[in-house]
Structure formats: structure tokens, C-alpha cells
Structure 1
Amino acid sequence: MKIIIAGAGEVGFHLAKLLSYESQEITLIDPDKTCLAYADSHLDIKVIKGDATSISILKEARIESCELFIAVTSSETTNITISVLAKQLGAEKTIARISNTEFIHYKDEIGFTQFGIDELISPEALAASEIELSLKQSSFNENYEFENGALTMAGLTLSKSASFVGKTVKEAATLFSKIHFIPIVIQRFGTQYSLIPRGDTEFQRGDNVVFITSEGGADELCKLTGKVNTEIKNVMILGGTQIGYKTARDLSEKGFNVKLLEGNRDRAFEIADTLTKVLVINSDGRNVDVLDEENIGDMDAFIAVGSNSETNIMSCLVAKSKGVKKTIALVENMHYFDLSHSIGIDTLINKKLLAANNIFRYIRKGGVVAMTKLNNLNAELLEFEVKATSAVCNKTIKSIDFPRSAIIGGIIRKGVGIIALGSFKIEEGDRVVVCCLLQSIKHVEKLFR
């Protein structure tokens, strides 16, 4: 697939990096010579120095043969303008990064597709949504919802109190009469080895396990693993960044008690004037004494979304030491995901990864309607819509030539999530959630074309 990315900033570079691993034909455009030089020397892609709003630059990038155009510069007006130009010049599909989430809320009413913009994404809004979901399922370290929660992905680390440690997947399934969850990928403790579990796979202490759950499955998992899905009510947010602002706004509107700490006086007053339901404190949240003064020990959750990843991590560690049950940190460095489980931070958020997940479904084949890459695991979760021509249509799961390095996690039929076993027959219109190790993605895509 020929893909053009306008903007070599943190999101653009990360996208180019991930897409280049997929052997896609990538062209990266940016006016900053330094950003392009680094990308050119580290990635197998083509780079063009120049302003992507220039029609001659777009033609130099061969925009007329572009299958996917992604505008992710730091300016949303530039991204919208470039996407409209790209569509008019022949780009097949266009995606524009925006910061004003009202555009997403009213996109159907305004009709952005009529202008030539097929999709709008906001990494900041995606991060705020991810944080809200993490608070909703507080006992899990990783979450993702398919079709508004018809099926939910839940990741956790097995402690010695988990009742199915030492049992096989098949033995664990017999602990409940009806199955509302299924393990889809396991990473063994202290390794980078990921495996797709089968009936005879044994759960071990320290395993990082990702499950798919239908309604009721999350509660069953909590009982089996000794976790407590604590109700989150009192939340403290460190940082009045865009993500901090959006998170505070959304949580306060849903009835959470929210405190927000912002060190910049002008920014703190600006937020306080806008978010009347949020207690905004103009103070340096990195100071332990300040956190104590603001009764951090009474908080159910602490969310650090400042501009510095290391500060966010250290603040969460302080919050954890004060007894806060749920800690969430925004980080830019992907390597920190390895660190999170060993040092005790519950959830890490990376807006580059969230944006990439949102965009990646456009390069997957076979009617992918949603996808997410699993943090620190070489696996992807893909949601396929079954067509009449799909190889899996009107077949039972056990009769499908499915690779060993992939597993069907669940089926969504008419809005209802189902944990489906081997005798389940897949029909046209079903939405099938599949977990694939990277080597099996192309094989699985063919089954759903």
C-alpha cells in the first residue's frame, strides 16, 4: 500500500516507523530538515522536505497514486487543508489529526467526507477515553472495548491468589457453568515470549494474561484472580495539558470528584474558569508535601498526564506509596511499558500508540472495523466484519483452517457479545474479534476477505 504521511513529529514518526515494519511504501513530508534526517537514517522510507500544503510537493510525492494519506502535523487547520487537497489530487482515503474534539462530535452533521476527509482522529481525545475506560475497569492494567462494550479486552498479571494458577485453560473454564471470558494471549513472567493459549496451556504465577470478556465476564475474572474492581469516585489529575483538561472535563460531567493540579498560574485559572465542577489547584504536583496537603491518600485514582514522562511515572509511584489504588501515567517512551508492571504502576497511556491503533485498521485487509496493538506483546486484536464472500462465513469455528498463532476471542451478533466455542457457526454480518501473533496476521486477513 502506498501511504503518505504529512508531519514528522512524534505521531508522524511513530506511524512511519510502525508502517515501515509492515513493508508498506511510505513517504514522509515535513519542512523540518532535522526531523526528516533522523527518519531517513533510521527508517526504510522516502522523505520529502517541504510544506505539504504545496500542491507541487504533493505531486512530487505522487499523491495521485496514494491509497492512504495521513495528515498529523501539529496544526489541525493545516491537517484539514492538506487532507482536502490530497483528496482532490487523487488520494484514495484521507485521515486528519485534530485537537478540537467538537469536529469529531459533529462530523456527520458537518459532513467532512463531502470536503474530502474520510476520518478525523484526536490522540488527546483517544487518551482521555482510554483513561476513562481504565477507571471503569480499575482492577485491570489494560482495557479495550469493542462495539460499546459488547466485548471487552482485559489484561492483568496473575498473582499467587489467582485460583486458576497451576490449572490449564480447560480446567479453569469448568469453575463457572457459563463461560463469559476467554484468555487470548499470555506473556510468561520475566520473558518477552507471547503465546496463544490452548485448552492444555497452564496458567503460571506472574503471567501477564489478556482476556476477552462478554457481559459478566469481568466480575468472574475478578473473583477468580483475587482482584477487586474498586469503584472509583475521587480522582486527582496531575497536569493541565490537553489530555488533563479533557479527562477532568469528561470525568466531572459523569459525577466523579476531580482535583486537578497545574503549576502554571495562568493555565490553572483558565481551566478553573471553564471547568466549574473541577477543583483546580495552582500548585506543583511533583512536590510530595503538596500531594499530602491535598489528601492524596483519600484518592481512589491518581492520573499523571504532565508533559514529562519521568515526572508522571515518579508522581504515580508516590501516589502508590500513599495508598492510592489506581495509578495511570502518560508516557512518550514505548520502552517504559516493560517497566510499568515491575515497579507497580497500574496503567500506562501512550497517545502515539493510540493514534497508530486507530489508523492501522485502514491498512489491514478483510473488512477490519477496529483494532488495537497489545502493549508490550507482539500481538494484535482485530475486529472483522464477516461478508458473504468470507471464507469463514457459514462455518463452525472448529472447521476453519485457523493458524495456531491466532485465536477467535469472541463474536458480536446484533450488538450482543458472545464467547464462542468450536461448535459456534459464524454468519454474515457477525463481527469477529481475533487475537493474532504478528506472523499470522496475513493468513487471518485472507479468511475474512
Structure 2
Amino acid sequence: MRIIIAGAGDVGFHLAKLLSYEGYGITVIDKDSDKLRYASNHLDVQTLQGNSTSYSVLNKARVSKADLLISVTSSEETNLTTCILGKKLGAAKTVARVSNSEYLLQQEELQLAELGIDELISPELLAAAEIKRLLKESAFTDYHEFDKGKLSLVGVKINSSSPLVNKTVQETAYLNPNFSFIPVAMLRNNNTIIPRSDTYFRVHDHAYFIAQSKGIDEVLEVANKKRVDIRNVMIFGGTPVGFHAARLLSRKYRVKLFETDRERCIQLTETLPDTLIINADGRDLEVLEDENLGEMDAFIAVTRNSETNIISSLVAKNNSVKKSIALVENIDYIHLSQNIGVDTLINKKLIAANSIFKLLRKGDVLSLASIHGADVEVLEFEVHHNSSVCGKALKNCGFPKASIVGGVIRRGTGVIVTGDFVFEDLDHVVVLSKPQCIGKVEALFKEK
């Protein structure tokens, strides 16, 4: 597959990194020579300096031979124009990054596909949807459902009071008598570990488990965590992410939104009738206390300043708010959540890149999830009667060492599996894998 990526910023670079593990022929276009040099030095990609809206640049990139053209520059106009022009020149499929939500909400009416734009991605809308998902199970730092919760991926921070501390996976088996969950990853000092029987749990680890529905409460118990109902939510920042988060969350929760700009507050009041808009600085502790910060169940900081979001979230946690989520622009900050006390740090650019990666996997993978800050992807495959794994025991399938099977959904029931488990036709298999092994894992489920 030949892929052209217009834009070598955070979204483009992370996407190129994910795709480069697949062995695709990737060309990255950008006007910034420094960004291209960095991409060339760190990834197995070709680079081309120039404007992606230029006919000559796209021709030089051989857009007529491209299976996919993805435009993710910081300019919405550039992305739309690149896709329209690229499609006219022969690109098989196009994806454009946009910030104006109207394009997404009126996609059919605008007939964008006829113009040459096949898919739209909005980092702001995706980040808001991610925030909504993270609030569903507030006790966890991360939460993904597979097949409507028949299996779930859950993340918890291991504190000193957990009975898991300083024990191996094998030594903690007595805490899981019903075998309703299994550890599949640990994030420790910015390193992602695929656990085996002799892997130790340590204080401050972020541990991730695949669990049956009945196993979720058992994970909370061994991690010494308590499930909390979210009712009251405070959002700091009337940015597009803040607006979309309030729009989604106000359908279920009582939401207050702080914004320092008066004119923006007026706009938000007109468009968010179910949200209380407060024209005040969310960094002012006295103001927050006046608005009952201590009674909030969740605090979400989504201003345009990463440091402001982190600090205000820490203030919220210090005032007994149960769940904190901070938006950060610097991808390097994502790993800090393990050490600084914010429950979850999210980056809209990483979320957007992962969302595009999922688009490419449609058909081959039933669902795909990413873990914030961890160098792994979680994928759900379907077993076909003529795929390599069908009829074989898990231990004999040859899964790469940098991957682990978390569980199987068979005839509507989630099952945590061991090495003797034999795969059957139509099983849905949840696998956690480091990016460089996804292609090998995927090959095991391909129809012959």
C-alpha cells in the first residue's frame, strides 16, 4: 500500500510512525525542512518538501498511485484543498483533518465525497468523545469495552496499599480465583511492559487488565480502588474541545464550564443551554471554591495551555475531586500522568492519529483501542475457519513475544484464556500488541 501524508507535525509524525511498522510505502509532505529531517531520521519514510496543495508537489509524490492520501496539516483549508486536488489526480482514498465541526455534522448535505473528500477527522470532537468515554468508569485511568462490555480493558494505578505490590503475576493468582481478569500491560517509568508470570507489580505502576464484566469489580478490589458515580462535572476552558465536551456531557451530568473571555462566554451560553457558563478564571482557587469545587466528581481542564491544564487538575485533585482529566499539547507530557497525580492526560493529536489508524484497519480488525501514554494497541479480531489460529491451542499459534491475548468472546460470552485454549471459527479475540508486531498478529487471523 502506498500512503501520502501531508503534514509532518504531531499528528502526521505519529501516524507515519504507526504505519511504518506495517511496511507500507509512506511519503510525508511538509513545507518545514526541520520537521521532515526529524521524520526522516526517526522513521522509515520518504519525505518531500513543498506545499501539498501544489499540483507539481502532489505529482512528484506520485499521488496518482496512492492508495491513501491523508492531509493533517494545521490548516483546515490546506487539508480540504489537498484532498480535493489529490482525488482529482488519482488518489484512491482521501482523509482530511478539520477543526470546524459543521463539516462533520453536515457531511452528507455538503456532499464532500463528491468533491473528493472521503473521510473527515476532527481532533477536537474526538478528544471530547474520549473525555466522555473516560468518565464512564471513573475509578479507572483508562477504559475500553469490547462487544458491549463482554470484555473490557481497564487501567489502574497501583498504590502502596494494593495486595499486588512486589508480587509477581503468578504469586497474585490467588487474588483472582474465578480467573475473571488478566494483566496485559504495565506502564513503568515511561516503559511499556507486556507482563508474564514472573513479572512483578510495583508501586506507581499503571497496570492494565482485560476483564470479564464480573471481573471489573474484582480488579478494583485488588487495586484497592472504589467505583465512584459521576454526577457533577467542572470544565475549565471554553475551547472547541471544552464546547464539544460540555455538549456531550450535559446530556447525562450537571456541567459547569469556566471561561475567562466574556465574548466567548456569551457564545457558549447561546449554544449550550444545559451547561452553566461562568465567566471567571479557573486558575483562581477562591473562585473555584465559591463554585463548590470540592463537591465536583470530575474536573476537566481543556484550555489552550498545557501547563495551566495540568496545574489546575492537580489543584482539583488536592480538593478531593475524584476524577481529573487534562488536555496537553506536548506529546511528551503524556507520560507524566504516571508521576504527577493527574488521573489521565490526553492529547488530541495522538487521538486523531490513532483514529485514522483505525480507519485503515476497517474490515481486518473489529475494533482497535489505544492506551494513553503506552506503546501498545489493543485489537479485536475475528477467527475465520481457514485462518492460521483456527483449531489451534493458544500456546501453539506463534504469537509474537511483544503481544498477549487478553481474552475471547465466544457465542456472546467473554472468556479469559490460558495457553491450552483452542480457537474456534467466529471467536472474537482481544489482543494487546506493540506497534511493530501488529502486522504479524494480524497475519495469524487472515483468511488463507
* Aligned pair partner of 2:33 in 37, 41, 55: 37
Q: In the alignment, what sits opposite 2:216?
A: 218
Q: In the alignment, what sits opposite 1:278?
A: 275
Q: Which amino acid aligns with 2:39?
A: L
The whole-number CA distance in structure 1 between the counterparts of 2:358 and 2:205 is 28
Aligned-partner SS, 2:377: strand
Q: C-alpha offsets along residues 390-427 of structure 1, whole Å, 9 cap, x if unaligned?
A: 21123232331223331101223456543233343323
Aligned-partner SS, 1:43: helix
The whole-number CA distance in structure 2 between the counterparts of 1:251 and 1:366 is 31
Is contact 2:384–2:445 with CA below 8 Å preserved after alignment? yes
Q: In the alignment, what sits opposite 2:63?
A: 63
The whole-number CA distance in structure 2 between the counterparts of 1:21 and 1:402 is 17
* Deviating more after overlay: 20-29 vs 352-361: 20-29
Q: In the alignment, what sits opposite 2:4?
A: 4
The alpha carbon displacement at 1:350 in A equals: 0.6
- The alignment's C-alpha RMSD in Å is 2.9
Q: In the alignment, what sits opposite 1:318?
A: 315
The whole-number CA distance in structure 1 between the counterparts of 2:411 and 2:102 is 29
Q: How does 1:72-151 map to 2 (within 5 A)?
A: 72-74=72-74, 76=76, 79-101=79-101, 116-151=116-151
* Deviating more after overlay: 96-105 vs 265-274: 96-105
Aligned-partner SS, 2:400: coil
Q: How does 1:219-258 map to 2 (within 5 A)?
A: 219-254=217-252, 256-258=253-255
* Aligned pair partner of 1:436 in 420, 433, 436: 433
Go from structure 1 to structure 2 and tell me whether the alpha carbon gap of 1:224 and 1:237 turns closer, same or farther (over 3 Å shift).
same
The whole-number CA distance in structure 2 between the counterparts of 1:155 and 1:64 is 44
Is contact 1:305–1:330 with CA below 8 Å preserved after alignment? yes
Is contact 2:8–2:36 with CA below 8 Å preserved after alignment? no
Is contact 2:298–2:322 with CA below 8 Å preserved after alignment? yes
The whole-number CA distance in structure 1 between the counterparts of 2:184 and 2:233 is 31
The whole-number CA distance in structure 1 between the counterparts of 2:432 and 2:190 is 17
Q: In the alignment, what sits opposite 2:336?
A: 339
Go from structure 1 to structure 2 and tell me whether the alpha carbon gap of 1:131 and 1:427 turns closer, same or farther (over 3 Å shift).
same
Which ranges in structure 1 are unaligned for 5 or more consecutive residues?
none
Is contact 1:139–1:230 with CA below 8 Å preserved after alignment? yes
| Percent of aligned pairs with the same amino acid | 49
* Deviating more after overlay: 399-408 vs 429-438: 429-438
Is contact 1:410–1:418 with CA below 8 Å preserved after alignment? yes
The whole-number CA distance in structure 2 between the counterparts of 1:324 and 1:362 is 36
* Deviating more after overlay: 228-237 vs 87-96: 87-96
The alpha carbon displacement at 1:203 in A equals: 2.8
Q: C-alpha offsets along residues 363-413 of structure 1, whole Å, 9 cap, x if unaligned?
A: 669923433443333333223333344211232323312233311012234
Is contact 1:6–1:29 with CA below 8 Å preserved after alignment? yes
* Aligned pair partner of 2:197 in 174, 199, 207: 199
Q: In the alignment, what sits opposite 1:47?
A: 48
Q: Which amino acid aligns with 2:338?
A: H
The whole-number CA distance in structure 1 between the counterparts of 2:414 and 2:356 is 24
The whole-number CA distance in structure 2 between the counterparts of 1:202 and 1:37 is 44
Go from structure 1 to structure 2 and tell me whether the alpha carbon gap of 1:415 and 1:89 turns closer, same or farther (over 3 Å shift).
farther
* Deviating more after overlay: 317-326 vs 393-402: 393-402
What is the TM-score when the length of structure 1 is the normalising length? 0.88
Which ranges in structure 2 are unaligned for 5 or more consecutive residues?
41-45
Is contact 1:150–1:214 with CA below 8 Å preserved after alignment? yes
Q: In the alignment, what sits opposite 2:165?
A: 165
Q: In the alignment, what sits opposite 1:377?
A: 374
Q: Which amino acid aligns with 1:403?
A: P
The whole-number CA distance in structure 1 between the counterparts of 2:86 and 2:412 is 36
* Deviating more after overlay: 234-243 vs 121-130: 121-130
Aligned-partner SS, 1:199: coil
Q: Which amino acid aligns with 2:318?
A: S
* Deviating more after overlay: 318-327 vs 74-83: 74-83
The alpha carbon displacement at 1:282 in A equals: 0.9
The alpha carbon displacement at 1:208 in A equals: 2.2
The alpha carbon displacement at 1:47 in A equals: 2.3
The whole-number CA distance in structure 1 between the counterparts of 2:88 and 2:109 is 22
* Deviating more after overlay: 164-173 vs 118-127: 164-173
What is the TM-score when the length of structure 2 is the normalising length? 0.88
Is contact 1:379–1:438 with CA below 8 Å preserved after alignment? yes
* Deviating more after overlay: 15-24 vs 267-276: 15-24
The alpha carbon displacement at 1:22 in A equals: 6.5
The alpha carbon displacement at 1:345 in A equals: 0.6
Q: How does 1:354-433 map to 2 (within 5 A)?
A: 354-361=351-358, 367-413=364-410, 416-433=413-430
Q: Which amino acid aligns with 1:352?
A: K
Q: Which amino acid aligns with 1:349?
A: I
The whole-number CA distance in structure 2 between the counterparts of 1:353 and 1:165 is 31
Q: In the alignment, what sits opposite 1:156?
A: 156
Is contact 1:300–1:325 with CA below 8 Å preserved after alignment? yes
Q: Which amino acid aligns with 2:437?
A: S
The whole-number CA distance in structure 1 between the counterparts of 2:303 and 2:405 is 38
